[in-house]
Amino acid sequence: MNLLRTAYLRWRVLVHEVAKFGIVGAICYFIDVGLYNVFHAAFGWGPLTSKALSTIIAATCAYLGNRHWSFSHRARTGVRREYTLFIVLNAIGLLIALACLGFSYYVLGLTSLFAQNIAGNVIGTGLGTMFRFWAYKRYVFLHPDHPKARQVPAVSEEVALQEAIDTAPALDGAAVTAAAAAAAIEASPGAPHRRRRPFPHESSSDLTRSA
């Protein structure tokens, strides 16, 4: 029991990622199948058009689910970059499934419906899913320490000054505003430590006591 608990604590992040990834994938699979049947059977659209639209919608749902749930703890590098790579990697995963099905059907000569389902929907989909999980973590949803991970920019002195001016209390007019702005800049991260000058309504002795 302790061994299982130790293994879980060591690999719990990966376990949670795999579980959430599987749930998102299952939901999006039903979205794909359901929308295909709605588009094709209910709306009367062609099979290729219906499949293309259902796949695009399901892939978009998969991206959102993985971005905001499965890999929400990983770095954000921009929707354009992530979504583009996500679609490309999904296409590669689809090619893996097609390759398995084609090899089984045309090379091995296994043409029965059962063999096609095993090759395409079990082996091919399984290998494609493992590839996508690895590729998402490697290329799309990056580790926070990755060089391409987006860093939160530090607040510049100009921004700090403007925020101080906007939020400063109007007790003594411009003098208090300017003093509050200067204090905000001096207290900002990275600024050299300097003794704060008293506000207009403070005396030097008040400042000494507060320090």
Burial of 50 (0-12, 13-18, 19+ CB in 10 A): buried
Look up residue 131 and give its two tokens: 């590839």
Average model confidence (pLDDT) across the chain:
76
pLDDT for position 92 = 93
State the alpha helices, DSSP H only, in 47-124: 47-65, 79-102, 113-117
Considering the chain, what percentage of its residues have pLDDT values greater than 70?
Answer: 66
**Confidence band (pLDDT; 50, 70, 90) for 155?**
very low
Is the CB of residue 56 less than 8 Å from the CB of residue 86?
Answer: no
Return d(Cα 182, Cα 157) in angstroms, integer: 10
**Confidence band (pLDDT; 50, 70, 90) for 149?**
low
Look up residue 195 and give its two tokens: 């003794």
User: Is the confidence at residue 120, as pLDDT, over 50?
Assistant: yes
**Confidence band (pLDDT; 50, 70, 90) for 56?**
confident
User: Is the confidence at residue 140, as pLDDT, over 60?
Assistant: yes
